[in-house]
Structure 1
């Protein structure tokens, strides 16, 4: 991966330490690539709890994943201390983009980078919906910046 595409860690206001379990490691001694998504999802839940000031009510679904792109930068080995950094980078009418990075906690070496498009979702109609203003406000407040993309006229 082009190092210029890896975001500056200073952009992230949220960090979640992660534990590598023995069964996360494959025969080559590094973390299996499918486990990265579990770590990213765990960190997303922690991020949303921080943004909202309370844990998510997972029985009430109002956002869903529409797209995920993950780049593997360097292998993660059992025994390494890792953390997942998470930030919202932009908000549009019906969706927002999360960026995440797994890095080694002591050396700060980037291990993986992920971009996820989250879509506001109406479970009754089973369709994307306008993102609630309260979500937009909470994300902007947490990130301490205006993330809302304005429509071009």
Structure 2
């Protein structure tokens, strides 16, 4: 099976920082794969919050993840501070992709590249819905 590749964007529109907690460390003594997924989830929530959005309310509809991919580049350790850069790209009728670049803030070493596919979802009707035009317009102004 060929390796997964993520074509990372050149520019990111949001940056946040998070420490690697002891609970993020696996039996190998480094940052665990499940913690990376949790960290990018928190980064996505922070990204949306800067626009007064939440995953359950973006212009009246929610978001739901359809897929995710993580490419591990280097180890992370307890006490490291990760810089997580985020941007949105690849809009389609129902959603878009979030990209994440995780780097060690102290050393600038890239720890991981990640991407999540998100679609818009009407939680009352339990079905996928179109990207809200106002959200698309706001996000495309920042890219």
TM-score normalised over the length of structure 1: 0.80
In the other structure, the counterpart of 1:69 is 69
Give the deviation of 1:55 after TM superposition. Answer: 5.0
Residue 8 (structure 2) pairs with residue 7 (structure 1): yes
Residue 132 (structure 2) pairs with residue 132 (structure 1): yes
Going by fraction, where is helix more abundant, 1 or 2?
1
- Distance (Å, rounded) in 2 between the aligned partners of 1:5 and 1:130: 25
Moved more, 38-47 or 123-132: 123-132
Moved more, 59-68 or 77-86: 59-68
Partner SS for 2:74: coil
Q: Give the aligned CA root-mean-square deviation in angstroms.
A: 2.2
In the other structure, the counterpart of 1:48 is 48
Equivalent residues in 2 for 1:83-98 (5 A)? 83-98=83-98
- Distance (Å, rounded) in 2 between the aligned partners of 1:120 and 1:107: 37
In the other structure, the counterpart of 1:80 is 80
Q: Any stretches of 5+ residues in structure 2 without a counterpart?
A: none
In the other structure, the counterpart of 1:148 is none
- Distance (Å, rounded) in 2 between the aligned partners of 1:41 and 1:5: 18
Residue 79 (structure 2) pairs with residue 105 (structure 1): no
Question: Does structure 2 conserve the Cα–Cα contact (< 8 Å) formed by 1:6 and 1:113?
Answer: no
Question: Does structure 2 conserve the Cα–Cα contact (< 8 Å) formed by 1:98 and 1:117?
Answer: yes
Distance 1:6 1:136, change over 3 A: closer
Q: Which runs of 4+ in 1 moved over 3 A?
A: 57-61
Moved more, 19-28 or 99-108: 19-28
- Distance (Å, rounded) in 1 between the aligned partners of 2:42 and 2:90: 21
- Distance (Å, rounded) in 1 between the aligned partners of 2:55 and 2:108: 33
Give the deviation of 1:79 after TM superposition. Answer: 2.0
In the other structure, the counterpart of 1:18 is 18
Partner SS for 1:76: coil
Q: Any stretches of 5+ residues in structure 1 without a counterpart?
A: 144-153
Give the deviation of 1:102 after TM superposition. Answer: 0.7
